[in-house]
Amino acid sequence: MRMSTVLRPLAWVALAAAVAGCGRGVTSSPGDAPNLEEWAANVRAQPAPPLPPLPVMQQFETFEYAAQGLRDPFSDAFTSDAGGSGPRPDSDRRKQPLEEFPLDSLDMVGTIGQGGGLVGLVMAPDKVTHRVRVGDYLGQNDGRITAVAEDQIELVELVPDGAGGWLERPASVALENN
């Protein structure tokens, strides 16, 4: 309480000094306006400085692009020459539920059965467990299951070769060890 009674008068004194200091050095006599007009007239009367010269334009050699006789890079001619033989995805085949997930997001969690009748159990990212057999499809690259073992599921994926064809690539999903 005592501090505010001392600080309040000091704040008023500081405010009064700041306001009084703002008026120093500023004069507004009627004789100052003609000086400003005279200075502005002198500046306008001086000649403008010369402009720098324009840069010299460089001459470029012309080039004629003549590709009329070459193959169109955007045509389908290249992909149709890739040959009808070889592996191709079956576009008429109905997609299976596990084909909407990337292969590395699928986890093998076990098997059911014995010997040749072994069925793999695969858990999808949505935490639903699916039964898979040889011939079923997994992953987004048309991965067809070729073998189901107790510790892994082997499959063959079809991947583009970059030249309009397809390559078979072996892959597998191993049993999760928790």
Whether the Cβ atoms of residue 77 and residue 84 lie closer than 8 Å to each other: no
The 10s digit of each residue's pLDDT in 152-177 is 999 999 988 888 888 899 999 998 77
Place of tokens 């200075």: 39
Q: For the sheet containing 166-174, what is the strand order?
A: 137-138, 143-148, 152-160, 166-174
Helix (H, G, I), strand (E, B) or coil at 154: strand
In a domain, 48, yes or no: no
Helix (H, G, I), strand (E, B) or coil at 136: coil
In a domain, 6, yes or no: no
Query: What's the number of domains the chain is made of?
Result: 1
Which residues, in sequence order, are bridge partners of residue 147? 154
In a domain, 60, yes or no: no
pLDDT of residue 21: 66
pLDDT of residue 27: 52
In a domain, 74, yes or no: no
The CATH number linked to 124 is 2.30.30.830
In a domain, 8, yes or no: no
In a domain, 55, yes or no: no
Number of H helices, E strands in the chain: 3, 7
In a domain, 37, yes or no: no
Q: Residue 152 sits in which domain range?
A: 97-174
Spatial distance between the Cα atoms of 147 and 138, rounded to a whole number of angstroms? 12
Does the predicted TM-score (pTM) go above 0.85? no
pLDDT of residue 82: 47
Residues of the chain with pLDDT under 50: 78, 80-82
In a domain, 170, yes or no: yes
pLDDT of residue 46: 92
Whether the Cβ atoms of residue 143 and residue 149 lie closer than 8 Å to each other: no
